[in-house]
Structure 1
């Protein structure tokens, strides 16, 4: 696993350009995770405030699909993109909706190396399942805590392997 991450890291750092160092790449990931937490917290709070039975059902289906595609990094990314699109739609927040395409791409960039490892995809699914349970219970605090746990785990992973 360590060798796989190192290989991916070298490819990503190499594709970032010659001026960017490993430190700059790591700093960019940290910045993304920090912003991601603030935005996703606002997103989850809006989703919970506007939750409907049908909306929660769609989220449940997407989290279920995520479990079914854990074997594939690409398929997992596609399902996660659909999940985020659904969250943005359910949030009914015009400011977040205007930024959706940029934000979803940024979130994907922040998770890219993390998602390359099957164990991490499984862990991400478990966190999303916890978030869904909190959304179903209309528990903003619990959903935000589960999100924080997810992003802290990603941050720890990156600090160890980068």
Structure 2
């Protein structure tokens, strides 16, 4: 047996680790569903959120630019149906992202581009689910903070 194939050699260990990384990467990609536009939830309220644009400010950061249609709902009740995207590893969530695409799809690729997402602060906790959830809350806009659009005091139907 050559020296680099010997189980104690560093080259063998690196090759084995690389093989494992490639194997698990290919397995993960094979399990991910192809992006289908029929999986995306289309509604008037998601269309309204999609009108938020972002510009690069003088601090080299992206700042939101709210359309008039979004501003009409500022600090008013707003309802959405979407998929829960966890922001922390927990069994139940009070804060999470809501997306018009399921979490098992790449939210940053595909024919439809980057979907509009909203940060949710709910009144009651919800367990993760791959099914859609329907909720209502107060729409908050903040062009000075880290979260430009939030749904606060959210409740589930």
- TM-score interval, normalised by the smaller of the two chains: under 0.3
Q: Which has the higher contact order (CA 8 A, sep 6+)?
A: 1
Of Structure 1 and Structure 2, which has the larger fraction of its residues in helix?
1
Normalised TM-score (structure 2) = 0.27
Of Structure 1 and Structure 2, which has the larger fraction of its residues in strand?
2
